[in-house]
Chain A
Amino acid sequence: MNSFAATIPILIVVLSAIAAMLAEAIRHPGERMYIAGFGLIGLVGAAVASVFLWDSDAVSFGVVRADNFALFINIILCIIGVLTMLFSNEVVEREGLPPGEYYALTLFAISGMMLMASATDLLVVFLALEVLSLAVYVLTGLRRSSAGGAEAAFKYFLLGAFSSAFFLYGIAFSFLLSQGSTRLDGLAQAIASGPNATLAMLAVSLLAVGFCFKVSAVPFHMWTPDAYEGAPTIVTAFMSTGVKAAAFAAFVRVFLSAFEPMQGQWIPVLSAIAVATMVVGAVMGVLQNNIKRMLAYSSIAHAGYLLLGIIAANSAGKSAVLFYLLTYAVANLGALGIVALLGTAEHPHDELRDFAGLWKTRPALAGMMTVFLLSLGGFPPTAGFIGKWYIFSAAVQEGHFTLAIIGVLSSVVSVFFYLRIVVMMYMTEEGAVPARPRVSTAAMAGLGLAMLATFYLGILPTRVIDYALQSIQTIF
């Protein structure tokens, strides 16, 4: 079926991005306008469209496929987008970010992420990758006055461009391998029919480099702490969840469909990368005193756990990746959202000691922050526990006991630094910090939703796991 149907969620988001741009253009200087509203409408619309497309397996132009897998990721991205929009309004105003650019770029990035999740052609994956990457590079450096932001954006851009080149090179080899096609199904056939081993190996490893960079797996993680620290916190919250979700979606799709026959070759490599990622993320996180850097290393560690799902390569592993992305997105966005909401242009509120005594003055925020951190640390009864359990049980099912043990131990190490924040909030007296800004009702509602989702996924995950299991059946 050749129709536009598969692209509808993406198009809705693109439209809302254009609306945000136009709104900025017609806005009188100094006029306040709730541009986030366009984003909210677009994202909710995209989510609704994704729900309607469920089970329809629509294909557009032969290269964009809205199967349940892509739709599941779409919905995760919509949740990420909606929460970001709810937090953004006051943050953008307070930090003096240019609103039109901020909202339009965020929405364009989301459309790129959605495209990346539904692309079934390597060139379209690359196109989507660039759409989202360029938007995120600019978002990272959006505070033009900040030297740290510019440095972060430049670093991220240079390294990102480098990894894109690797990725493109990988596509070129794949093109050669499948004799004139970059489509995943064509590639799968070519590999199944006894490939040129060297060529296939080159293609696989170059593509893996590109993906590992985007998901910030060790040793391609160097940009992550700097970019996360230098970017405006709200952008950190957005990209640490959105980019990861989109990149893992494409990672799973490419590696577990087209390159699945070559498992024997890439599993050992990815296993080594996963171990390094989990260990480096957890251990380096312990050494950080800046919360954004700390959560950057935490996001590296989480990428390691997610890689275990790909390595397990069974149906539990694939659906575990989807489920984990959802739990991680909700908790990480919540935690970084709170950091963003407490910051001002003069005082970013991102050092560990800034959180001292938060519980005294802001019990609700401290309570929610605790829930998000416990979820990231994998404590029951929060979403993070079910996510971790699902991933590790997929690995154990395939006999990867060593990987699972390294994973759980590194997650205990990471608990140490999550608890450092909790210690600050509850067990340390408030120091001389500047007055913390008020948090609007919309943002509180967003945080409340994220917390509810964290508990819902932690206590009654059955239904969502069912959807995740359905999602992976359509493509693999």
Chain B
Amino acid sequence: MLLSTIVFLPLAGAMLVLLAGGRGDRPEREPLVRNLALAVSLVAFAATLYLWWVFNPSEPGFQFVENRPWLPQFGISYHLGVDGISLFLIVLTGFLTPLSLLCSWQSTHKNVKLFSFFLLALESAMLGVFVSVDLFLFYIFWDAVLIPMYFLIGIWGYDRRIYAAVKFILYTMVGSILMLVAIIGLSYAHGAATGQQTFDLTQLYGTALSWQMEKWFFLAFALAFLIKVPLFPFHTWLPDAHVEAPTAGSVILAGVMLKMGTYGLLRFAFPLFPNAAHYFAPYIAILAVVGIIYGALVAMVQPDMKKLVAYSSVSHLGFVVLGLCSNTVQGVEGAVYQMLNHGVSTGGLFMIVGMLSDRRHTRLISEYGGIKAVMPRLVACFLIVTLSSIAVPGFNGFIGEFLILLGSFRWMPWMASAAAIGVILSAVYMLWMFQRVNYGEVTNEKNRSLPDLSTREWALMIPTVAMAIFMGVFPAIFLRAMEPSVMKVIDLINGVAR
């Protein structure tokens, strides 16, 4: 019951928030609603930490399994489980939700009740994605994630929010709905082969498929996940969604939702269709490398900080996909680790951009300059998060990117070399932005009297900075728990121990 509790606790909290908010838009209940939502998300975070505590790191398979028939006519079950790959994504979701509630504490005043409701409902759906072991259940959570996010962007976003929200939902749906057809097809193919229709992932692994079927099913799954990641050239929804989303939306979008794509590749697309995965991996990896460099180059020329961070996500997620495609222990482990790192560092960057734009109501780099003299504390945190994002040794990003490059070098050296250019470029665009915003003289008079970090903002920055350093210094704590599950997935992809 532990996993069900973790998944549905935020949703129950969301309902509670809705009740506590009273009828209509009641500004006087705002503090109550905010504190209640934050309390719920903190309890949920504590629950995910407890899950980590009781998790057995040496067990490769699913733990805390709950398996109950749900639609027995079709072999659909309510099957939850967690392994070393999903464990930390769950903890990351728990970690980022309170932060995203907290970072919109001052900037969001329009119907806080509904805002908190959607954020908590979103958390439930995302947690559901990571614990589902039944394909049907997974798809339900996967699609359910879209609705709260759509509202978060559409109601509380910036000027072009409606365009961005609709683009986001339609773009993602096109990919995922084809995956739905493939899921159905796969389950019938399994039924035809074994006489037992099922949507249970553990049984579907190793289903014998004709090459035609396997190819098309893989492409349908991969398309859904690659749009979500987003991999070049399916990334065009991302800058719009990120730029228009409120800070909390960007933090969750970059921090957790993009990882649903890479997680899906690793958990579903590759091991379910190993032959197709081997066949297509080089092509996907080429797209990933193109995305790494393209994302970095486009990020470099962005005048808008938020857009810059958004394109940097395209580049960073390219690394993750490259690591997954390499199908080596280091590469995949690095990819999973990099998913977490990206959540922490990009989440942190979006929070910092949010803090600046809360004060100045602009995100244009040219509006800033010399901020270090005005807000030394914020800039100190900014520096640490920047360094973690560009993978300086000693910070979390280094471990992830290093492992990915190591793994992909063993697989295809020239691919790793090309990707390494991306590491350099990321230093160029991030540090250049950092320099333009923070160093030099204060060029804009409006920036002279900006207040430094408030207590609330310290509460945002301390955990983020602490995680960036902690994960950079003690990666073994995380990697040890991942390794057995990663090995198991690689075995599945390589067809060992079927």
Tell me if B323 is interfacial: C-beta within 8 Å of chain A: no
Measured CB to CB, the closest approach of chain B to A463, in angstroms, equals 10
- With A408-B178, A469-B73 given, name 20 new contacts (CB 8 A): A363-B23, A363-B24, A374-B147, A379-B146, A380-B140, A380-B144, A381-B140, A389-B136, A389-B180, A392-B181, A401-B181, A412-B173, A415-B170, A416-B166, A419-B150, A423-B162, A427-B165, A461-B71, A465-B73, A466-B73
Interface centre among A380, A409, A469 (most CB of B within 10 A): A380
Contact of B143 among A360, A379, A423, A465 (CB under 8 A): A379
Q: Nearest chain-B residue to A415 (Cβ)?
A: B173
- CB atoms of A381 and B184 under 8 A apart: no
Q: In residues 430-476 of chain A, which contact B (Cβ within 8 Å)? A: 461-462, 465-466, 469
- CB atoms of B178 and A405 under 8 A apart: yes
CA distance A380 to B185 in the complex (A): 19
Find chain B residues with CB under 8 A from A360 CB.
25
One digit per residue, 1 when the CB lies within 8 angstroms of any chain A CB and 0 when it does not, for chain B 162-194 equals 100110011001100110110011011000000
For this complex, into which size category does the number of interface residues on chain B fall?
A: 35 or more
Tell me if A385 is interfacial: C-beta within 8 Å of chain B: yes
One digit per residue, 1 when the CB lies within 8 angstroms of any chain B CB and 0 when it does not, for chain A 121-142 equals 0000000000000000000000
Measured CB to CB, the closest approach of chain B to A248, in angstroms, equals 21
CA distance A423 to B180 in the complex (A): 26
One digit per residue, 1 when the CB lies within 8 angstroms of any chain B CB and 0 when it does not, for chain A 378-420 equals 0111000100010011001100010011001101100110010
CA distance A155 to B140 in the complex (A): 42
CA distance A389 to B162 in the complex (A): 28
Tell me if B151 is interfacial: C-beta within 8 Å of chain A: yes
- CB atoms of B143 and A411 under 8 A apart: no
Q: Could you name 6 residue pairs across A and B whose Cβ atoms are closer than 8 Å? A: A360-B25, A379-B143, A381-B144, A392-B184, A412-B174, A423-B162
With known contacts A380-B144, A389-B184, A419–B73 Cβ distance under 8 A = no
With known contacts A363-B24, A416-B166, A396–B173 Cβ distance under 8 A = no
Residues of B within 8 A of A (CB): 23-25, 70-74, 136, 139-141, 143-144, 146-147, 150-151, 154-155, 161-162, 165-166, 169-170, 173-174, 177-178, 180-181, 184-185, 187-188
Find chain B residues with CB under 8 A from A412 CB.
170, 173-174, 177
Total residue contacts A-B, CB cutoff 8 A: 80
Find chain B residues with CB under 8 A from A462 CB.
70-73
Dominant secondary structure at the B interface: helix
Find chain B residues with CB under 8 A from A469 CB.
73
- CB atoms of A419 and B184 under 8 A apart: no
Contact of B184 among A396, A423, A427 (CB under 8 A): A396
CA distance A415 to B184 in the complex (A): 21
Q: Nearest chain-A residue to B166 (Cβ)?
A: A419
- CB atoms of A405 and B72 under 8 A apart: no
Find chain B residues with CB under 8 A from A154 CB.
none
Contact of A427 among B154, B178, B180 (CB under 8 A): B154
CA distance A374 to B181 in the complex (A): 19
Tell me if A266 is interfacial: C-beta within 8 Å of chain B: no
Tell me if A426 is interfacial: C-beta within 8 Å of chain B: yes
Interface centre among B146, B155, B173, B174 (most CB of A within 10 A): B173
CA distance A211 to B151 in the complex (A): 40
CA distance A401 to B146 in the complex (A): 25
Contact of B140 among A385, A397, A404 (CB under 8 A): A385
Find chain B residues with CB under 8 A from A380 CB.
139-141, 143-144
With known contacts A379-B144, A423-B154, A426-B155, A396–B185 Cβ distance under 8 A = yes
CA distance A381 to B154 in the complex (A): 21
Measured CB to CB, the closest approach of chain A to B112, in angstroms, equals 14
Find chain B residues with CB under 8 A from A374 CB.
147
CA distance A416 to B171 in the complex (A): 11
With known contacts A380-B140, A389-B180, A423-B162, A415–B188 Cβ distance under 8 A = no
Contact of A409 among B136, B150, B177 (CB under 8 A): B177
CA distance A396 to B216 in the complex (A): 14
Measured CB to CB, the closest approach of chain A to B149, in angstroms, equals 12
